[in-house]
Amino acid sequence: MYSLFISPEITFSLFLHLLLFVLLSIALYHTLILLHSYKREATSALQYSLEKRAYLIATIIQLSLFAYIFLLFFFIHTLEGLASLLPGAMCAAGVVEANIYGLPLILLHFCIIILSLLWISLHQEDLRNKKSPYFKRKFQLFLALYMLIATALITELLFFTQLDFSTPVLCCSTLYRQSSTLPFSLTPLQVALLFYSIYFLLIFSLYKRKRVPTLLLILLFLPLSYYATTYFFSPYIYELPTHRCPFCLLHKEYYFIGYFLYGTYILALYYTLKSCFVKKDKNTSYKSIFFLTLFVFILSFNFIKFIVI
């Protein structure tokens, strides 16, 4: 338990997450009542009170989302800060790999943000339409979101309590040294080529607004972009052939490029999923194309610069 107080950031990250969780639990309580006895056509007093409850739930979720976005970056910043306290760690990579809960925790936070962004877009669509077609579905989606948030909170608690400040951890240059960890024994160059080809296919399918191919492609794009960033593009950004790490991108030395990179990544993913599930119009597709392109451009900027010069 001592490790919870070793850095004020940990205490606060946990405190804020706990606070949000309490509020979301209140929202959950209201959601369960709502889902249990909501009948759209009914004109009873109960129905009116349920409609009013829906406003509370929506407000809580929207505010929590803003908090979660802020807290994700803050969380990553906390991990960066912990790196100087853990022997051996040079950046957040070592901290994340310090125990088995690190990586799932970051993935969970990503999922929460994307899911809650989708929830909000669903909610807005619902409000815009007089028939509220997504009314029940959005509250069912909230149940899933709540499960994710609860899991994330437990994982976070486990992660911080099990953090051992006496055993050395591996630093990023050791963790990502071998490209043999790449799936199907691909070389980094092959991964990059695959990454670009999937990107062009994805853009094409988004432009044509084909739902199933887009979904399949984005599922392929997700792991590929991770591997491509870590094993192929990051050395160009660091301008150091031996340095491969997805976390050092967040450092000041590289102008905090990581925050922009992961920010556009989240936005691109959000708009792509939105165009598949919520709003199947041109505008959303174009937005998703824009953010995808921005992500790829930021990522490959140094690579292109290296080739041209």
Question: Directed axis angle between helix 45-82 and helix 8-37, to 10°?
Answer: 160
Residue closer to another protein by CB (options 6, 294) is: 6
Longest CA–CA separation in the chain, Å = 72
Which 3 state secondary structure label does DSSP give 236? helix
Residue with the two structure tokens 């579905």: 137
Q: Is residue 70 part of the contact set for another protein (CB under 8 A)?
A: yes
The contact pattern for another protein, residues 25-64, with x = CB under 8 A and - = no contact, is -x-------------------------x--xx-xxx--xx
- Find how far residue 212's CA is from the centre of its chain: 22
The answer to whether the beta carbons of residues 105 and 159 sit under 8 Å apart is yes
Shortest Cβ 70–another protein spacing (Å): 6
CA–CA distance from 192 to each of 44, 198, 227, 281, 302 (Å)? 60, 10, 8, 31, 14
Q: Is residue 240 part of the contact set for another protein (CB under 8 A)?
A: no
Site for another protein in 166-225 (CB under 8 A): none
Other beta carbons within 10 angstroms of residue 164's beta carbon come to 12
Segment near another protein (CB under 8 A); pick from 13-21, 206-214, 233-241, 265-273: 13-21
Give the pair of three-digit tokens for residue 47.
């129905």
Site for another protein in 76-115 (CB under 8 A): 77, 81, 84-85
Q: Is residue 297 part of the contact set for another protein (CB under 8 A)?
A: no
Segment near another protein (CB under 8 A); pick from 6-14, 112-120, 204-212, 280-288: 6-14
Give the pair of three-digit tokens for residue 285.
């597709």
Residue closer to another protein by CB (options 149, 202) is: 149
Rounded to whole angstroms, how far apart are CA atoms 175 and 171?
6
What are the residues binding another protein (CB under 8 A)?
5-9, 11-12, 15-16, 19-20, 23, 26, 52, 55-56, 58-60, 63-64, 67, 70-71, 74, 77, 81, 84-85
